[in-house]
């Protein structure tokens, strides 16, 4: 049986590192699929425990030159904080040591001759003293990363940085040593400032990157922050406050007004309204009474509720939401593979371009000018760092899926977030998706002198013994009218026909035409009215009392208030909307007409829904199937995108690619809109990341870009890509 695990990876410096680890893990026997996310510093692995162990995976990562450990649920934020603190310390030290070198460089130009420069700043040995700790202590991480990469026969950003800064440092060291011959202090050309300032700028870029990475996972932090910290549990007849982690299934707990529900449970006692907006996005509180379910982290508004815990810890709806969002943020969209492939071959190509640049300048453009040729080659190496390319896709996926989660839309993975924007046909299941899924009593017609209240009392008393959904709807409708229901003396369900009961000495029949015919009851006068009700999408039931026709009741599964608006929105997006149902054609068309849906597939059995999806796909359509995730599972799995209407408790429906936490069909258009925005953002990021390199490399090779400017541009490219992705966190639906 296949398992999944997530590893926390340390030591990655760019997308090429992630690509290499991913490649290494995928080569392990027993690993089905490994996805490494550079931004989240995680590796998500699907594997067969019979063929490979987690220890094998960790050893493989370590062999490639990185560190790996099983991802802990807690402490991820601490890891990020430590990383940011370390980057800050290095940056401050590097900036302090580099500043005199920058000052000395500023005094070199004729147009800056007015700047006073202390003589000691121009001394080669003083510059060597400042540059050496920056190069080998602060910059040690680049040498270590480059060594690990080259040892595993690949190259990454560290190789470019180490090559560029080492070339500048060691050339300057050579020139400094030459001053020992005497009298050359003012003739030497030194590039200590180039290597030191480059390292400082790269560290600045990495700090911005780390800060931005922290912000992209803001959605998960927000979700985690929703959890209640304590629960008021009843044990041995006493109310005691305990940490929410100590609540176990079966515990009874009390939720007072204004408090958060600690875990998922079933109301045992009390009535109240509960704010479930954190889960569904709906601002109107939901009424709760005995028998209803409540979800952890929702807020009790008014009454006191006594609840029995049914799901705790990782099983709660909120924990499932967090898990789905984390997996989506850690997954990889197909478009990212383009960036991965480019990153994998990019560094060797850049090194080649740098060598060619040096050769052309040294032998052709400025023969014998070693320092000038070296400067151009360093600029090429530095401007070409593929950091921005590696950040382009994962930061957008994280920001987009996080924003979607805030609106109650859970994408199971980056590939689904990408695919959703291509949808051109949406198939809606009728019951529970277009409609409320809860039939209710809509019409009462008394006949032959029967009093309506008396008719409802007899029918309600007879139907309250039945477990059929339509019978429950009738009994509930009668109770709502405040009519008391006596007990029936006898009750008999007649499958496919209706029921027969005796209430208060009267024989009651409720059901179809066939039931009336079986007992010889004349109902000709009612057939026209019955046909009219059925034409309106209602289920009509005939009633006979003591052998004579007495009237009829009708029950309907009404459409949701927002269904018509949602269908109109989808049509406005140019998407064809189709309704699919197992109901008869007449009822289905009535519901579709009310919702504004033009195309109906009626009388389709659950196993036939998948075949209907396939037909549309064969016709070249990109299909999204929207259903309740249970009887629609085959169709959800077959569709290009399966969307499950979730109520929170069914959040991890396996068959669906997207879970819509709200029952509102507007979430479909919202999901498509967020997918479109995210894909547009990714394309912008990839364009700018590549544009920096495509434009920057020729400018650097032509000698128009000083190495320190190349370093600044490289850092800016990474930061701009991350900031662009973060715009998704402010998307308004």
**What six digits make up the tokens of 386?**
């593929």
- What was the pLDDT predicted at 468? 72
* Gap between the Cα atoms of 363 and 384, Å rounded: 23
Three-class secondary structure of residue 14 per DSSP: coil
CA angle 565, 569, 571 (to 5 degrees): 115
Question: Which tokens go with 215?
Answer: 């912000």
Calpha distance 205→387 (Å, rounded) = 10
Contacts of 293 (CB under 8 A, 6+ apart): 264, 265, 266, 267, 310, 649
How far lies 466's CA from each of 431, 495, 732, in Å?
21, 11, 47
Q: What is the pLDDT of residue 330?
A: 62
User: Are the C-beta atoms of residues 552 and 512 closer than 8 Å to each other?
Assistant: no
DSSP state of 430: I
Question: Would you give the distance in Å from CA 598 to the centre of its chain?
Answer: 32
pTM: 0.67
Residue 173 to residue 212: CA distance in whole angstroms: 37
- Contact at 8 Å (CB) between 516 and 553? no
How far CA 600 is from CA of 371, 562, 626, in Å, comes to 76, 19, 14
pLDDT confidence of residue 590: 86
Is the Cα dihedral 144, 145, 151, 156 positive or negative? negative
Residue from 314, 308, 272 nearest 289 by CA: 272
pLDDT at residue number 581:
83
Q: Which of 403, 369, 430 is nearest to 703 (CA)?
A: 369
Query: What does DSSP assign to residue 482?
Result: T
Taking CA atoms, 299 is separated from 226, 256, 290, 401, 565, in Å, by 10, 10, 17, 25, 29
Q: Which of 442, 456, 439, 479 is nearest to 551 (CA)?
A: 456
- Pairwise CA distance, residues 375 & 398, whole Å: 38
Quick one: angle between helices 387-406 and 707-726, nearest 10? 20
Which among 383, 314, 301, 327 is positioned nearest to 5, based on CA atoms?
Answer: 327
Compute φ and ψ for 70, nearest 5 degrees. Answer: -60, 130
Which secondary structure element, helix H or strand E, spans residue 451, and what is its range?
Answer: none
8 A C-beta contact, residue 661 and residue 646: yes
Of 127, 103, 133, the residue nearest 115 (C-alpha): 103
The three state secondary structure string of 218-266 is HHHHHHHHCCCCEEEEEECCEEEEEEHHHCCCCCEEEECCCCECCCEEE
Spatial separation of the C-alpha atoms in residues 634 and 660, rounded to whole Å: 18
pLDDT at 671: 94
Distance CA 578, CA 567 (A): 10
Predicted pLDDT of residue 65: 81
Q: What is the pLDDT of residue 509?
A: 93
137-143's contacts with Cβ under 8 Å and 24+ in sequence apart are: 138/90, 138/93, 138/94, 138/97, 138/199, 138/203, 139/165, 139/195, 139/199, 141/13, 142/13, 142/199, 142/202
Size of the chain in residues: 733
- Give me the pLDDT at residue 648, please: 38
Average pLDDT per 10 consecutive residues for the chain, totaling 733 residues: 86 77 91 84 89 92 88 60 84 92 71 73 89 93 84 73 82 82 57 82 75 60 77 90 92 92 93 77 73 88 90 83 68 68 75 92 90 84 72 80 84 86 92 80 90 91 80 88 89 83 91 89 89 83 92 87 92 94 79 91 79 92 82 79 68 66 87 94 88 86 80 73 85 81
Among 38, 44, 41, CA closest to 77: 41
- How many other C-beta atoms are found inside a 10 Å radius of the C-beta of residue 458? 25
Dist CA 14 CA 11 (whole Å) = 9
For the sheet containing 264-269, what is the strand order?
A: 238-243, 230-235, 252-255, 305-311, 264-269, 293-294
Please give the C-alpha separations between residue 303 and each of 239, 287, 300, 507, in angstroms, as whole numbers. Answer: 17, 10, 7, 43
pLDDT, position 266: 94
- State both tokens at 146: 């480059």
Compute the 3-state secondary structure of the chain and give helix, strand, coil in percent, each to the nearest 5: 55, 20, 30
Residue 1 vs residues 70, 201, 714: alpha-carbon distances, Å: 20, 49, 46
Q: For residue range 457-515, what is the model confidence (pLDDT) as tens digits?
A: 999 999 888 777 778 889 989 988 888 888 889 988 887 688 899 998 899 999 888 88
CA dihedral 566, 567, 569, 571 (to 10 degrees): 170
Cβ contact 725:688 at 8 Å: no
pLDDT at 670: 94
Distances (CA, A) of 125 to 128, 172, 366, 622: 5, 10, 28, 68
Distance CA 91, CA 97 (A): 10
Catalytic residues, which ones? 429
Q: Tokens at residue 240, please?
A: 């005691």
């Amino acid at each position: 049986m296949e398992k999944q695990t997530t590893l926390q990876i340390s030591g990655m410096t760019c997308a090429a590192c992630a690509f290499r680890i991913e490649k290494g893990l995928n080569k392990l026997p027993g690993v089905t699929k490994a996805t490494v996310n550079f931004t989240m510093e995680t590796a998500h692995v699907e594997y067969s425990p019979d063929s490979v162990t987690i220890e094998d995976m960790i050893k493989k990562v370590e062999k490639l030159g990185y560190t790996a450990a099983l991802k802990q649920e807690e402490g991820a934020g601490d890891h990020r904080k430590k990383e940011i603190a370390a980057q800050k310390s290095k940056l401050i030290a590097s900036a302090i040591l580099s500043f005199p070198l920058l000052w000395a460089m500023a005094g070199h130009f004729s147009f800056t001759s007015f700047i006073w420069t202390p003589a000691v700043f121009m001394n080669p040995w003083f510059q060597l003293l400042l540059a050496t700790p920056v190069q080998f202590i602060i910059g040690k991480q680049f040498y270590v990363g480059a060594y690990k990469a080259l040892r595993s026969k690949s190259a990454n950003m560290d190789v470019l940085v180490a090559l560029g800064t080492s070339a500048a440092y060691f050339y300057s060291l050579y020139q400094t040593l030459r001053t020992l011959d005497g009298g050359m202090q003012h003739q030497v050309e030194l590039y200590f400032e180039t290597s030191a300032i480059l390292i400082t700028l790269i560290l600045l870029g990495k700090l911005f990157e780390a800060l931005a990475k922290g912000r992209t996972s803001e959605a998960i932090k927000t979700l985690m922050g929703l959890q209640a910290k304590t629960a008021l549990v009843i044990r041995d007849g006493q109310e005691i406050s305990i940490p929410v982690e100590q609540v176990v299934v079966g515990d009874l707990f009390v939720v007072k007004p204004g408090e958060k529900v600690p875990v998922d449970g079933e109301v045992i006692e009390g009535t109240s309204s509960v704010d479930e907006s954190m889960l569904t996005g709906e601002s109107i509180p939901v009424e709760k009474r005995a028998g209803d379910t409540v979800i952890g982290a929702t807020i009790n508004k008014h009454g006191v509720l006594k609840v029995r815990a049914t799901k705790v810890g990782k099983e709660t709806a909120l924990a499932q939401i967090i898990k789905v969002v984390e997996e989506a943020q850690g997954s990889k969209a197909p478009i990212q593979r383009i960036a991965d492939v480019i990153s994998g071959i990019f560094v060797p190509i850049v090194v080649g371009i740098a060598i060619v640049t040096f050769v052309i300048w040294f032998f052709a453009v400025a023969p014998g000018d070693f320092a000038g040729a070296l400067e151009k080659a360093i600029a090429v190496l530095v401007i070409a760092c593929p950091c921005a390319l590696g950040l382009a896709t994962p930061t957008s996926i994280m920001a987009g899926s996080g924003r979607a989660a805030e609106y109650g839309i859970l994408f199971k993975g980056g590939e689904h977030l990408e695919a959703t924007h291509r949808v051109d046909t949406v198939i809606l299941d009728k019951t529970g998706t277009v409609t409320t899924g809860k039939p209710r009593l809509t019409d009462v017609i008394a006949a032959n002198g029967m009093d309506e209240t008396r008719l409802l009392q007899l029918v309600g008393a007879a139907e309250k013994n039945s477990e059929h959904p339509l019978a429950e709807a009738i009994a509930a409708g009668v109770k709502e009218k405040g009519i008391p229901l006596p007990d029936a003396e006898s009750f008999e369900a007649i499958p496919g026909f209706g029921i027969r009961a005796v209430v208060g000495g009267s024989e009651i029949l409720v059901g179809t035409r066939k039931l009336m015919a079986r007992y010889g009851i004349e109902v000709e006068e009612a057939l026209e009215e019955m046909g009219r009700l059925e034409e309106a999408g209602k289920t009509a039931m005939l009633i006979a009392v003591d052998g004579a026709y007495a009237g009829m009741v009708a029950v309907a599964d009404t459409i949701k208030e927002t269904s018509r608006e949602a269908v109109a929105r989808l049509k406005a997006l140019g998407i064809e909307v189709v309704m699919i149902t197992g109901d008869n054609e007449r009822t289905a068309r009535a519901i579709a007409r009310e919702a504004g849906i033009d195309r109906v597939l009626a009388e389709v059995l659950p196993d036939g829904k998948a075949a209907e999806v396939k037909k549309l796909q064969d016709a070249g359509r990109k299909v999204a199937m929207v259903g309740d995730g249970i009887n629609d599972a085959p169709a959800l799995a077959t569709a290009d995108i399966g969307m499950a209407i979730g109520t929170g408790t069914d959040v991890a429906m396996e068959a669906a690619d997207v879970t819509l936490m709200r029952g509102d069909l507007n979430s479909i258009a919202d999901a498509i809109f967020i997918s479109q925005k995210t894909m547009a953002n990714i394309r912008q990021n990839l364009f700018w990341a590549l544009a920096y390199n495509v434009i920057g490399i020729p400018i650097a090779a032509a000698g128009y870009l000083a190495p320190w400017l190349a370093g600044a541009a490289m850092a800016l490219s990474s930061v701009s890509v991350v900031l662009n992705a973060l715009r998704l966190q402010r998307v308004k639906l």
